[in-house]
Amino acid sequence: MSLTINLTVNGNTQSATAEPSTSLLDFLRDTLNYKGTKLCCNTGECGACTIIYNGKPINSCVTLAADANGAEIVTIEGLADGDKLHPVQQAFIDTGAVQCGYCTPGYIISVKVLLDRTKEPTPEDIEEAVSGNICRCTGYTKIVDAIQLAADRMAGRS
């Protein structure tokens, strides 16, 4: 059996069908062609598949596509304003917080949600916000630097 799923992705209304067992991640990547969100552990542990679901960061690999019916989804493709990158994206580039880049979309989504909530994140806020995202290449120092830089820029401090 297949289900019809009506949802909003990055502000655009979409409709497509999915099998009941399909994950939201596979639905976004393979059916709707949003390839920016990454498949990595596929068990909800690494955070590479993080998207914003009705305002909250979730792991799309362990969420049913069926549960996205009627939902508002934001993926990494929805952050830039035309050619102008989102401040979090720009900060990751400027601090060199990227090596292979596979975990990066998940990090940037988690950080965007954090900075939408607070312009002055504490070190504890930052740690909590990205504790569900794993990077296997870098140390985490530059990622934390990037988050701080993005926070400063978004608050007009830098």
Interaction of residue 144 with another protein, rule CB under 8 A: no
Instruction: Give the H/E segment covering residue 13.
Output: strand 12-18
Interaction of residue 118 with another protein, rule CB under 8 A: no
Q: Which amino acid, one-letter code, is at 47?
A: G
Candidates 4, 131, 141, 158; binder of another protein (CB under 8 A) is 131
How many residues make contact with another protein (CB under 8 A)? 29
Helix 87-94, helix 141-154: angle, nearest 10? 140
Angle at 114 between CA 118 and CA 66, to 5 degrees: 135
Interaction of residue 43 with another protein, rule CB under 8 A: yes
Interaction of residue 59 with another protein, rule CB under 8 A: yes
Q: Which amino acid, one-letter code, is at 133?
A: N
46 in Cβ contact with 133 (< 8 Å): yes
Instruction: Give the H/E segment covering residue 30.
Output: none
Candidates 76, 91, 126, 129; binder of another protein (CB under 8 A) is 129
Interaction of residue 116 with another protein, rule CB under 8 A: no
Candidates 110, 115, 150, 151; binder of another protein (CB under 8 A) is 110
Interaction of residue 67 with another protein, rule CB under 8 A: yes
Rounded distance, CA 152 to CA 62, Å?
A: 33
Interacting residues toward another protein by CB under 8 A: 1, 3, 19-21, 23, 42-45, 47, 50, 53, 56-59, 61-64, 66-67, 110, 128-129, 131-133
